[in-house]
Structure 1
């Protein structure tokens, strides 16, 4: 039970194909000045502007996602079924071997 006919837009007076957003237009205008803007931001950061420094660092070096440490539980390989494996993991948690 389709609401619109196939191939017919639900908003025929909407944005035409290929129309650029205002953000795309802004980016295109700034593109020629981008190296100078980056140099000015870098210089401001080097001069002690913490906002400029934070901006540069957050955009160029995003924080790394935490990775889990590899855990070795020898008894886990000896366990035959899922229930036994769950018991081994829970026992390791109980002993403080796993967080």
Structure 2
């Protein structure tokens, strides 16, 4: 970004350099150095004794929450660009019925869009090849 008064470039970075740590973070890490195993053992003991917060922490480490999961939806076979509207319609219908979440529907629609581009490119390539063959005759 340029300074308006004299039209010179200026740095906009403020604070600590990228990748450096805050003093409080460094101090906390110094206190915890060498104590990780004991703290982990204590957390597991507390979880086994019924501390729900400790139990949640242990479970999140053992089995982190899934970000994506497979969706079960039947889409029509898409071989031409004419078939794509049926696939989009099936996704919309599944979202409307509650079979898919809106986020899952959006992700699937993105996949259908990528497939549309691939189908469209293939169809255009075939048309161009046919036109080139006609011109050579």
Shorter-chain TM band: 0.5 to 0.7
Residues in 1 aligned to 2:67 and 2:19: alpha-carbon distance in whole angstroms:
37
More helix by share: 2
Shift of 1:17: 8.8
CA RMSD of aligned residues (A): 3.8
Could you tell me which runs of 5 or more consecutive residues in structure 1 were left unpaired when the two chains were aligned.
Answer: none
Aligned to 2:2: 2
- Would you say the 8 A contact 2:78–2:87 is kept in 1? no
Could you tell me which runs of 5 or more consecutive residues in structure 2 were left unpaired when the two chains were aligned.
Answer: 101-137
Shift of 1:37: 0.9
Normalised TM-score (structure 2): 0.47
How many residues get paired? Answer: 92
User: What is the DSSP-based 3-state SS (H/G/I as helix, E as strand, rest coil) of the residue aligned with 1:41?
Assistant: helix
Residues in 2 aligned to 1:18 and 1:87: alpha-carbon distance in whole angstroms:
49
Per-residue CA deviation, residues 8-50 of structure 1 (Å, 9 max, x unaligned), is 65689x6589964111320222021111111111111111221
